[in-house]
Amino acid sequence: MKRSGDPGAKPRSSSVAGPDCCGGLGNIDFRQADLCVMTWLLGYVDPLDPSFVAAVLTIAFNPLYWNVVARWEHKTRKLSRAFRSPYLACYSLSVTILLLNFLRSHCFTQAMVSQPKMDSLDTPAAYGLGLALLGLGVVLVLSSFFALGFAGTFLGDYFGILKEARVTVFPFNILDNPMYWGSTANYLGWAIMHASPTGLLLTVLVALTYMVALLYEEPFTAEIYRQKASGPHKRS
């Protein structure tokens, strides 16, 4: 860490002082701070490790897969025709989504155990925090599932299985997209419990991937229900 001067020197204002990655908020050049954080993370994370690469690929692939398949089904209804039922088609997609999510979690865990732990996170207090986050995530995911139902959880609206009204019961009454944020909390808690910088980095990737997915899912789903609402008016 750089020092601003010797003890006898007159203090300089933060606007004059050179940028310092760790010398106080007034002296931070945030572009250099970002580089500092990345340099620190790369001290723990080997991005070329096969298990890390596998985790990154599964994290990025899963939302892409279910969005592409569900939109294709909404446009063509080929899965519904192949299974002779939109419900069976939706259930078939749900099986593949669950299997891919198990694979993602496995790759996530393997990436963590194959790379170094962070000593400052390897404490009982941090473990307790991670356990609490994991518990919160489980509550959000399970309560979302029960509120939406099986078809609602697994993109049933893309198969024409629409709800009569927007779901507003817990946890949807406290935040939007609780299934995604619950899943993110699960990964964050799991990473902290393992004292894993690799897990923390991968959790950031999980959150960013969900945020990108929502940019495509929410407008498309809103349009599906807008068309449903306008349907009767068109027929009258």
Burial per residue of 204-226, b for 16 or more beta-carbon CB atoms within 10 angstroms, e otherwise: eebbebbeebeeebeeebeeeee
Residues across the chain: 236
User: Does 136 count as an annotated binding residue?
Assistant: yes
159, 86 in Cβ contact below 8 A?
A: yes
pTM (predicted TM-score): 0.80
User: Does 218 count as an annotated binding residue?
Assistant: yes
Residue range 148-181, pLDDT digits in tens: 999 999 999 999 999 888 898 999 999 999 999 9
191, 203 in Cβ contact below 8 A?
A: yes
The ranges assigned to domains in the chain are 42-228
Residue range 7-65, pLDDT digits in tens: 344 333 333 333 444 444 345 453 454 566 556 666 788 989 999 999 999 999 999 99
CB atoms within 10 A of CB 91: 16
User: Does 164 count as an annotated binding residue?
Assistant: no
Q: What is the largest CA-CA distance in the chain?
A: 86
Residue range 204-220, pLDDT digits in tens: 999 999 999 999 999 99
User: Does 182 count as an annotated binding residue?
Assistant: no
Alpha-helical segments (H) within 77-123: 78-83, 86-113
